């Protein structure tokens, strides 16, 4: 049995809540995502997408990335499933699927992939220096100047989006779609949305996009499956998707559930100082998790829990010893005060008798 990121995050939360001593106050900083009702997003109606890659081209241009080896006009890249990279914030993939009724074998469906700009992002939740931030406008932004390169965000993201600049020797960054935040601040729409020739991408207030999506499903029940992907997944995302086929058929996970990452990790994140020491052990477990090696994973998990318990116990002993020492000193001081008081009284009585 393989272990999902979500299971891992849940376990992480449980480990934090159950095995570590409560240290003061770092959790609140990471649990700041209450959602922004006015925030913007994009609705990707995959039934309109023709796989032209114009969005990829625009993204490359607005982010000033180097030209790719294969030009954007070459659609042969669609033969293979692709993921985003540190120099490709968005990719379009083709899926040859059966139609909704199962009667159209081999119908291609094109799906654009990029950061989903979660309402309560796992990447931000995992980042203890707060390099990732959910803005009130919608985009999840990244501040390279505070990033320590730990890459926990990459592990935490349930959509496998952030990429690391491994080829950057001096100042490698974690890279992902910004939802064109600088453009939005200038009153422009995201680059990909601007160029899409079929209106497969619609930019707008998330609430309005949900209304549009619901209306389309209601008016064209034969065209769409009755599910707006991103409305609730992992607590909701700013990118929303409509599809004519089940989302699992276009490689979109439907097993993520609706609980946001901060809820899952809250226990662990409230113990940031302790967890900081624990992370390397946990990371070893991640490798096992990635490989689907249950035995190795259990071993790493037990090691991590054992390590955290030992640290908690040693911390508890230290605190107890300090408290006993303090009490002993307070007791000695009290005795000394009483002795001094008695001596003073005797001295006074003697002086009066003379």
Residues forming contacts to ligand SF4 in the complex (CB under 6 A) are 49-55, 58-59, 62-63, 89-90, 92, 110, 112, 114-118, 121-123, 140, 157, 159, 161-162, 176-180, 190-192, 196, 198, 200-201
The answer to whether 149 touches 114, Cβ cutoff 8 Å, is: no
Task: Say if residue 277 is exposed, middle or buried (CB neighbours under 10 Å; 0-12, 13-18, 19+).
Answer: exposed
- Any alpha helices (H) in the chain, and if so which ranges? 5-19, 27-30, 54-62, 122-126, 152-156, 181-185, 191-195, 206-219, 261-269, 272-291, 294-353
C-beta of 180 vs 275, nearer to ligand SF4: 180
C-beta of 139 vs 274, nearer to ligand SF4: 139
Separation of alpha carbons 43 and 49, rounded Å: 12
CB burial string 15-52: b at 16+ within 10 A, e below:
bbeebbeeeeebbeebbebeeeeebbbbbbbbbebebb
Q: How far is the CB of 253 from ligand SF4 (least distance, A)?
A: 12
Q: How far is the CB of 190 from ligand SF4 (least distance, A)?
A: 3
C-beta of 18 vs 108, nearer to ligand SF4: 108
The helix, strand and coil proportions of the chain, stated in percent and rounded to the nearest 5, come to 45, 10, 40
Q: How far is the CB of 89 from ligand SF4 (least distance, A)?
A: 4
State how far the alpha carbon of 142 is from the alpha carbons of 26, 124, 139, 319, 326, in Å.
20, 9, 10, 38, 46
Q: How far is the CB of 198 from ligand SF4 (least distance, A)?
A: 5
Separation of alpha carbons 179 and 176, rounded Å: 9
C-beta of 23 vs 212, nearer to ligand SF4: 212
C-beta of 16 vs 121, nearer to ligand SF4: 121
C-beta of 92 vs 282, nearer to ligand SF4: 92
Separation of alpha carbons 111 and 242, rounded Å: 10
C-beta of 65 vs 217, nearer to ligand SF4: 65
The answer to whether 239 touches 114, Cβ cutoff 8 Å, is: yes
Three-state DSSP class for 31? coil
Tokens representing 76? 């042969």
Q: How far is the CB of 42 from ligand SF4 (least distance, A)?
A: 7
Q: How far is the CB of 193 from ligand SF4 (least distance, A)?
A: 7
**Got the DSSP string for 294-310?**
HHHHHHHHHHHHHHHHH
C-beta of 187 vs 353, nearer to ligand SF4: 187
Question: Which helix H or strand E contains 131, and what residues bound it?
Answer: none
Q: How far is the CB of 17 from ligand SF4 (least distance, A)?
A: 22
State how far the alpha carbon of 111 is from the alpha carbons of 17, 63, 82, 114, 250, in Å.
39, 21, 11, 10, 7
CA quadruple 313, 314, 318, 324: dihedral positive or negative? positive
C-beta of 76 vs 349, nearer to ligand SF4: 76
Q: How far is the CB of 161 from ligand SF4 (least distance, A)?
A: 4
Q: How far is the CB of 270 from ligand SF4 (least distance, A)?
A: 20
């Amino acid at each position: 049995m393989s272990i999902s990121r979500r299971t891992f995050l849940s376990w992480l939360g449980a480990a934090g809540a159950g095995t570590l001593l409560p240290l003061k106050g770092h959790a609140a900083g990471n649990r700041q995502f209450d959602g922004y009702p006015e925030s913007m997003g994009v609705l990707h109606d995959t039934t309109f997408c023709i796989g032209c890659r114009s969005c990829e081209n625009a993204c490359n241009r607005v982010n000033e990335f180097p030209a790719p080896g294969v030009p954007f006009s070459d659609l042969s890249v669609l033969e293979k499933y692709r993921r985003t990279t540190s120099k490709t914030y968005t990719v379009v993939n083709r899926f040859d699927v059966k139609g909704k009724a199962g009667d159209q074998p081999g119908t291609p469906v094109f799906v654009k992939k990029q950061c989903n700009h979660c309402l309560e992002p796992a990447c931000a939740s995992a980042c203890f220096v707060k390099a990732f931030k959910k803005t009130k406008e919608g985009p999840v932004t990244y501040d390279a100047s505070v990033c320590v390169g730990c890459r926990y965000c990459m592990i935490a993201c349930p959509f496998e989006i952030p990429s690391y600049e491994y080829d950057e020797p001096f100042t490698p960054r974690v890279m992902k779609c910004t939802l064109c935040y600088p453009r939005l601040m200038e009153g422009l729409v995201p680059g990909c949305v601007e160029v899409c020739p079929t209106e497969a991408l619609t930019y707008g207030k998330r609430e309005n996009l949900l209304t549009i999506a619901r209306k389309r499903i209601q008016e064209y029940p034969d065209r769409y499956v009755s599910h707006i992907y991103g409305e609730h997944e992992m607590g909701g995302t700013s990118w929303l998707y409509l599809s004519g086929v089940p989302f699992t058929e276009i490689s979109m996970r439907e097993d993520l559930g609706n609980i946001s990452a901060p809820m899952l990790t809250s226990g662990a994140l409230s113990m940031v100082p302790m967890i900081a020491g624990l992370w390397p052990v946990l990371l070893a477990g991640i490798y096992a998790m990635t490989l689907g090696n249950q035995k190795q994973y259990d071993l790493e998990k037990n090691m991590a829990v054992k390590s955290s318990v030992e640290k908690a116990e040693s911390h508890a002993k230290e605190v107890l010893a300090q408290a006993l020492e303090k009490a002993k000193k307070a007791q000695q001081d009290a005795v000394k005060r009483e002795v001094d008081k008695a001596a003073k009284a005797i001295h006074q009585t003697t002086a009066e008798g003379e």
